[in-house]
Amino acid sequence: MTETSAATPFRCGYIAIVGRPNVGKSTLMNRLIGVKVSITSRKAQTTRHRITGIQTTEDAQYVYVDTPGFQTRHTNVLNKALNKTVSNTLTAADVVLFVLEAGAFGAPDQKVLDLLPRNVPVLLVMNKSDRIKERSELMEFARSVAQKRDFAAIVPVSAKQGFQLDRLQEEIRRHLPENPPIFEADDITDRSEKFLAAEIVREKLFRFVGDELPYTSTVLVEQFEQEGNLRRIFCAILVDRDAHKAMVIGAKGAKLKEISTQSRLDMEKLFGGPVYLEIWVKVKSGWADNEAGLRAYGYE
């Protein structure tokens, strides 16, 4: 465990990262901890689970919790489950990062803001601030949002460029409680390698197949074995229709091969060893239409 001197009290706590879909929450957490543990995609609602990323320094342990983008339309069981994940995370948070896109605040952002607890420090994180060239315009936007709530701090950042993340972390530490570390110093997440493998494949699935594939498509790791430093991983991509299956496989299997290759490379980088990966595609419609189906695939 990490130790610190009596003059500098050690701080540790949970930091919930919340916001509407596609404001850069997963990218922000990955950059803060320095390792990619939460998948990213241009496709809305890529993050479905509560993902924990851990960073430990000499005087603090930051336990970041990346959440799904809050769904303002409760149209199906999956969206309701995702929103429940966000709400449950907020109840256990010591600090909340309310992430929005700099220069853009609309009704979906307000609905998320209305959910945030009043007894927890909330930091306004204006992501993608590098896109606003005029400082006066950014300041005016910050003032307008600041009128909606008493924020503990307001920090413009660019998660993609790494801009002002050190300052953001300093602000977070100020509001963390004095606690000993919860995790070991070298831990980066509390998720299993099996879970991370499924998430990596799902990221590549949406990245290479694109918007034509429904976001209810998912990935199931059917077998995960480790022999020394070698990991053998067998995954199934679950889609709703035969047409979606053909879409994922691609002409002469080219698309599936691309998904497999890029997934394997990411796994080897994250796990620090060779990976043998096999992926196939199955049609399994309706898995997200009921609570039992959601529980079967790890939704809380």
The packing angle between helices 107-115 and 77-91, to 10°, is 50
Q: What is the pLDDT of residue 215?
A: 61
Please give the residue that has the higher pLDDT: either 63 or 52: 63
Query: Confidence band (pLDDT; 50, 70, 90) for 49?
Result: low
pLDDT attached to residue 42 = 53
Q: What percent of the chain has pLDDT over 70?
A: 80
Round to whole Å and give the CA distance between 225 and 233: 6
> What does the pLDDT average to over 7-24?
90
Q: Exposed, middle or buried, 140 (CB in 10 Å: 0-12/13-18/19+)?
A: exposed
What ranges make up the beta strands (E) of the chain? 11-18, 51-56, 60-66, 95-101, 122-127, 153-156, 218-227, 230-239, 275-283
**pLDDT tens-place string over residues 133-144:** 899 999 999 999
Torsion sign (Cα): 102, 107, 108, 114: positive
Is the pLDDT at 288 greater than 60? The verdict is no
What are the domain boundaries of the chain?
A: 11-175, 193-296
User: Is-contact 42 23, C-beta < 8 A?
Assistant: no
CATH class (in words) of the domain with range 193-296 = alpha beta
Residues paired with 283 in a beta bridge: 239
pLDDT at 299: 41
Q: What is the pLDDT of residues 141-174, one digit of tens each?
A: 999 999 999 999 999 999 999 999 999 999 999 9
* CB neighbour list of residue 295: distance below 8 Å, 6 or more residues apart: none
At residue 265, φ and ψ (nearest 5 deg) are: -60, -40
Q: Do 11-175 and 193-296 come out as alike in CATH topology?
A: no
Specify the pLDDT at position 292: 42
pLDDT at residue 187 greater than cutoff 80: yes
Closest CA to 150 of 96, 103, 90: 96
CATH topology of domain 11-175: Rossmann fold (3.40.50)
Q: Which region among 3-7, 161-165, 204-208 has the lowest average model confidence (pLDDT)?
A: 3-7
Pick the closest to residue 101 from 42, 24, 189, 173 (CA basis): 24
Question: pTM to 2 decimals?
Answer: 0.74
Q: What share of the chain is helix, strand, coil (3-state, %, to 5)?
A: 35, 25, 40
Please give the average per-residue pLDDT across 274-287, as a whole number.
85
Mean pLDDT of the chain: 83
The answer to whether residue 298 scores a pLDDT higher than 90 is no
**226 in the Ramachandran plot: left (φ > 0), alpha (ψ -120 to 50) or beta?**
beta
Mean pLDDT of the 168-196 span? 93
